Amino acid sequence: MAAHDLFEFNRLKLAQLGREMMLFAQFNSRTGYAALRMNHGDEAYQAIAIDNWMGASPVYTRRMQKAMRFSGDSSVETIFKGLQLECGFTHQYFDVRFAVQSPEQGRFWLKSCGALLETEPRGPDAVKTMCHDIEDPTFNATAVATNPRARMTAIHRPPRVPSDRVPHCEWLVHIDPEALPLAEPKSALAMSETKLACLFIERAHGSSSGGLEDYSGDMHERLHLEQFSQSALSVICRELAVQVHLLIAAMMRSVAEHYGETAALAVAEFQMAGSCWVMSERLCGWLGLSGSGIDDVIRVLEIHPAFQPREYWRLEVIRNDAESARLRVHDCPALQETEGCGWQAVLKAGMTEGLAGLVRGVSRRARVTACGEQGSLCWDICLDGADEEEPLAVQIAKGTVLYQTRLRDRVQLLQM
C-alpha cells in the first residue's frame, strides 16, 4: 500500500483509524512497561517512563503543530491543540476538556482517565508514581515544545478523595514571561536527530469534501477527529504513527542506556508481540475481516501502525497462495536509522516474536519464518501452525481496561 492509499478510506474510517493508532500507543506502554517491570523490577518503571515521554513528546508535538498548521504561536491555545492531537491523550480512553482563559493561561480537566482506572487497583503508591512523579516532568516537557516559559501545575489530582471524585484531575497551564526558560530535555534533543523525527509527510488532496483542512482556527473544548477533512485526517493518521514509533524508539534508547542494548531488544520484542497482536485483532474487526485466510493477514499488514507511515517503512507483501505469503522490508528510512532503537532493530536482530504476534492476531494459525535471504529482512508467513495458547505479552495486553475500550463515532460531525 502506497502512502497516499489511505485515501481509499472516507472521513469516518480515517477518524476511526486515527483513534486506533492512539490506542496502539497505549497498548505499547502497557506491554513495554510490563516487560520492564518483569525484567528489571518495579523501580525501573518510573525513570524509563519519564525518559520515554520526555524524549518523544516535544518532538512529535512540534511535528503535529506544523502538519496541522498551528505552529508559530507560543500561546496556551497552541499547547492545548497539541495535546488534543497526541496519543498521550488517546481520544475516548481519556475524556479531556480544555478552556483557554487568555493567551497566557488556561486549564484542562479529565472527566475520565482510563490510565487512572488501570492504576487505581494497584494502590495509592502506584497512582502517585503515575500522576505525580511521572506527569510533573513529562507534562512540562510537552509544554516546553511550544513555550519554554510554560508550566503545567495541578489544581487537583489523584489519589482521589473521595474515591469517586470527578473530574479525575484538573490542571492549570500558565505562561510566565518572567520565568526562567526550561531547557529541552536531552533525550528529546537526541530523538530530534533521528530520520523518523525529520520525516517529511506530504499532504495530498482528498477525494471527498467537508471538514477542517487544518487546526489553524479556533480551538474546540473537546476535539473529535471527525471534524477534520479527509486530506487532514490522512496526515493526522500518519503523524500519529510517527508518534507511536518515536515513543518506541525513546523507550528503547532509555532502556539501553540503563541496562544495555540486549535488554532494550528484549523489552521491545515483548512490547511488539503483545500490542501488535491485539491491534491486529482490532483492525480485523475494523476492516470487517474474518481472519480466515492469507488475504486477511496481508490486508492487516498493509494498514497496521507497526509498519506505518509508509514514508518511513517500505513493505512488500507477495501472496503465494491461499495459505502463504512473503513479507519483505526494503531499504527505507526505518532501516537507515543509526541508533539501534525502534522495532526495526528487533527485526534486524532476527527476533520474530513481535512479527509473529502481529500475524497471529489475524489468524491463530499463522507462522513466521525467516526466508533465508542473506542481508535482507524477509519472512515467509504460512497458515499451517497450531492454535497455541496466547503468549504472556498478549495476556497482559488483554487484561487491561484499555482492551475493553469501545470507540464511538461522531457521525453528525461529518456534515461540517
> In this structure, is residue 413 part of a structural domain?
no
Cβ neighbors of 103 (< 8 A, separation 6 or more) are: 75, 76, 77, 175
What pLDDT score does 2 carry? 42
CA 98, CA 104: separation in Å to the nearest integer?
A: 14
C-alpha cell at 2: 502506497
> In this structure, is residue 62 part of a structural domain?
yes
Q: Are residues 151 and 287 in the same domain?
A: no
Q: Are residues 300 and 203 in the same domain?
A: no
Per the structure, the count of domains in the chain is: 2
Q: Are residues 159 and 23 in the same domain?
A: yes
> In this structure, is residue 408 part of a structural domain?
no
CA 46, CA 129: separation in Å to the nearest integer?
A: 7
Q: Are residues 222 and 366 in the same domain?
A: no
Indicate the residue among 189, 213, 243 that finishes a domain: 243
Indicate the residue among 243, 273, 293 that finishes a domain: 243
CA 353, CA 349: separation in Å to the nearest integer?
A: 11
CA nearest to 34, candidates 406, 401, 394:
394
> In this structure, is residue 370 part of a structural domain?
yes
**347 and 355 in contact (C-beta within 8 Å)?**
yes
CA nearest to 315, candidates 333, 328, 299:
328
Indicate the residue among 243, 272, 290 that finishes a domain: 243
Angle between helices 11-40 and 261-287 (to 10 degrees): 150
Q: Are residues 51 and 174 in the same domain?
A: yes
Q: Are residues 191 and 269 in the same domain?
A: no
CA of 413: how far to CAs of 12, 229, 237, 319, in Å? 9, 11, 18, 39
One-letter amino acid at 94 equals F
Q: Are residues 145 and 88 in the same domain?
A: yes
Cβ neighbors of 124 (< 8 A, separation 6 or more) are: 159
Count the residues in the chain: 416
> In this structure, is residue 71 part of a structural domain?
yes
Q: Are residues 14 and 121 in the same domain?
A: yes
Q: Are residues 81 and 224 in the same domain?
A: yes
**266 and 39 in contact (C-beta within 8 Å)?**
yes
CA nearest to 49, candidates 119, 122, 134, 114:
134
Q: Are residues 211 and 278 in the same domain?
A: no
> In this structure, is residue 251 part of a structural domain?
no
Q: Which domain holds residue 131?
A: 3-243
Burial class from Cβ neighbours inside 10 Å (0-12, 13-18, 19+) for residue 161 reads exposed
> In this structure, is residue 51 part of a structural domain?
yes
**215 and 85 in contact (C-beta within 8 Å)?**
yes
> In this structure, is residue 411 part of a structural domain?
no
Q: Are residues 193 and 300 in the same domain?
A: no
**179 and 151 in contact (C-beta within 8 Å)?**
yes
Q: Are residues 18 and 161 in the same domain?
A: yes
Q: Model's pTM, two decimal places?
A: 0.96
Task: Profile the chain (416 residues) by mean pLDDT over runs of 10 residues.
Answer: 65 96 97 96 93 97 97 94 97 96 97 94 94 94 94 96 95 95 94 97 80 95 95 96 98 97 98 98 95 94 96 96 95 94 96 97 95 84 88 96 88 73
